[in-house]
A and B are shown apart, each in its own frame.
Chain A
């Protein structure tokens, strides 16, 4: 009797086989999906990395070009060159007798050059790459949790 009941509810062998095949295919597809995502992310990361490297090289080159251009500009505006250009244009150096002084209210003398801002208390952010590009998933979780706990602690005070 028991044997009959078991036989009655037992799956047909071809069904069991089919289930196994289905399970295998499911795992295979899932694995391929994961591999595909991984490949895509790796590809994007590699492409971004290569772009960053190229941009860093470009930035370095531009810094050199800027320094060079600044010096070339200074060469074109150097004392001797300017004197020669002025003479060619028919100018001559001004002499004491040529000058006429007129009072001009509100005009102060020539100010010494400021090529950069004076010191302030504001600190600048110098990082070029965002942390998201370099930190691991674990770092992200840890940092987020740390910030969250810190914020909560701060609010509680």
Chain B
């Protein structure tokens, strides 16, 4: 009896000790460092997911809502090796559909079986949607197929695809020099380059966010709604842009020019309606940038390429002189064919003497001698003050990345000589961009008010559209001066029976021909330009044409003026501007 009780106590003690040992071991394991790390690792890996949410990049529209830059659906395709059932099928189908290497894909598909690789393997990114439809079709075929009696069934198990967006430009080359591009192949660190894409990169990109999401479905956590980047509504008119690109391409071709630039602006608001430059570029294939723009060339000549504008600059000189009261349109001038400024002789473009002229005649015949005299009458202080007011040597502040400027040499500067007063008066010895010229001269078509040039008309952020209001830079000349200059230039075109004239519409304008400086002085090559606006009584557009190094003729009046006329012919149709006569009839009661 006693023996039995003793045995029972012994067995009981053994069980108690065993239980105590199990409890001790459980507590020890639970509290060990290794266990803590293991639990943390599992929590990190399996309990939550870290996601970087990239907001949709904002769209870019023209002024009528036509999409110029949007986003396109593409896919990332990858393999989860542990889930692959049939590596051969996976490798064969992916190689056939995605055009990837069969053996490399097979190696990745088999990597779990052979090496125990559990890591997700990327096969290809930026796969178009139609390729994914092919894979989906194959997936459906395998699911519906009968299972073989031996071996693994054909299967795409373990293959995953996930959609994401890339930048797309549906109009291809249209307005590409204004839009810039987005290097979408760099998926996580892409950014806008040049043009609007660079200028408004932060606004378009929005704010990316990193979120930690629990995988446990009971721990509901809202994925924060990341608003898309802001969209831009530009002042560009798609149809006008297309027409201007067509016209400048044709002009470059016909005149054997090295490049061409054509800018159309609304002088009353500073809105850019079209900005066409050559060469063209397709931002959908931005990796070809270096081929199209070798080192030293310009993406957007209208804002980046500095050049001596030549006689179009005379508009500014004459406006300054009339505004300051130094001359009047009727002021007589006897042109003897040469004038000495700062000890250097200045001649006319044809080296001829044009005899008695008034200021209209000086502009009509584009007489360098006369304009040098006008600048002298105005005096250097006044002349350069006006040029600075016109924004020469200063950034216009256009909302496009890449604007260039060349500082204006002023009296007292080490690189300014007295002769500069003469040469600058007719646009030589001074470097500007087309956007600077059109901005300054547009004041003549807007009662003397110079408007800030801009491309963005409105933007949409968080579902609300904000309008960008036009901004006056300054009243650079008096309204009557602007009207006088417009009238003088309209009369001079009519007197000359210029190639720039457009039937039914009265326009004002000025040609420009500037010799291009080379290493040993000026060369025979020229920059041919024309600036014009209309209709004279109520200007709705100003057009700047520049052909670089034309070979058909060096003169702006021969090569650039017809381009202006052609542009206006299209503009009046696209902008629905009735001929002057009709407009006046409609306006009269």
Contacts and interface: CB of A to CB of B under 8 A. Distances in A.
Given A78-B172, A101-B578, A101-B586, A71 B463 contact: no
A133 B220 contact: yes
Contacts of B233: 112-113, 115
B340 interface: no
24 contacts: A45-B218, A48-B220, A64-B73, A68-B129, A70-B59, A78-B172, A79-B242, A80-B174, A80-B242, A95-B569, A96-B503, A96-B569, A96-B572, A101-B578, A109-B576, A112-B63, A112-B64, A112-B458, A115-B233, A117-B463, A117-B464, A118-B464, A124-B463, A134-B222
A79 B238 contact: yes
A134 B573 contact: no
B500 to A, nearest CB: 15
Nearest to A48: B220
Interface in A42-77: 42, 45-50, 52-53, 56, 61, 63-65, 67-68, 70-75, 77
Interface string B277-305: 00000000000000000000000000000
Contact of A64 (B165, B174, B221, B582): B165
Nearest to A41: B218
Contact of A74 (B170, B221, B464, B579): B170
A109 B125 CA distance: 47
B171 interface: yes
Contacts of A101: 578-579, 582, 586
B376 interface: no
A126 B73 contact: no
A67 B165 contact: yes
A47 B67 CA distance: 41
A128 B219 contact: no
B212 to A, nearest CB: 14
B65 to A, nearest CB: 4
A79 B244 CA distance: 13
B129 A116 contact: no
Contacts of B465: 114-119
A95 B466 CA distance: 36
Nearest to A70: B70
B239 interface: yes
A4 interface: no
A132 to B, nearest CB: 11
A113 B61 contact: yes
A96 B463 contact: no
Nearest to B231: A115
B411 interface: no
A5 B458 CA distance: 100
Interface of A: 42, 45-50, 52-53, 56, 61, 63-65, 67-68, 70-75, 77-80, 83, 94-96, 99, 101, 103, 109-110, 112-120, 124, 126-129, 133-134
Contacts of B223: 56
Given A53-B217, A67-B165, A115 B222 contact: no
Contacts of A73: 67
B225 interface: yes
A67 B57 CA distance: 10
Contacts of B503: 96
B457 A115 contact: no
Contacts of A133: 220
Contacts of B171: 74, 78-80
Given A70-B70, A78-B171, 17 more contacts: A52-B220, A53-B217, A64-B73, A64-B165, A67-B165, A70-B59, A71-B170, A72-B72, A75-B170, A79-B238, A83-B242, A101-B586, A110-B576, A118-B464, A119-B466, A120-B464, A134-B222
A103 B225 CA distance: 50
A80 B242 CA distance: 9
Given A64-B163, A79-B238, A112 B457 contact: yes
B14 to A, nearest CB: 31
Contacts of B466: 118-119
Contacts of A113: 61, 63-65, 233
Given A42-B218, A64-B163, A67-B73, A77 B460 contact: no
B578 to A, nearest CB: 4
A49 B503 CA distance: 71
Contacts of A77: 66
Interface in B54-85: 56, 59, 61, 63-67, 70-73
Most chain A beta-carbon neighbours within 10 Å: one of B65, B73, B576, B578: B73
B504 interface: yes
Contacts of B61: 113, 115
Contacts of B66: 74, 77, 79
Nearest to B221: A134
B231 A67 contact: no
Nearest to A112: B63
Nearest to B220: A49
Contacts of A79: 66, 171, 174, 238-239, 242
B164 interface: yes
Interface in B454-488: 457-458, 460, 463-467
A80 B63 CA distance: 18
Contact of B73 (A68, A124, A129): A68
Which 9 A-B pairs give the minimum distances between C-beta atoms? A49-B217, A113-B65, A74-B67, A68-B73, A74-B170, A71-B70, A116-B465, A101-B578, A75-B170
Contacts of A70: 59, 67, 70
A74 B60 CA distance: 12
Nearest to B245: A79
Contacts of B129: 68
B168 interface: yes
Contacts of B573: 94-96, 99
Contact of A128 (B71, B216, B225, B458): B225
Contacts of B576: 109-110
A126 B56 CA distance: 17
B220 A129 contact: yes
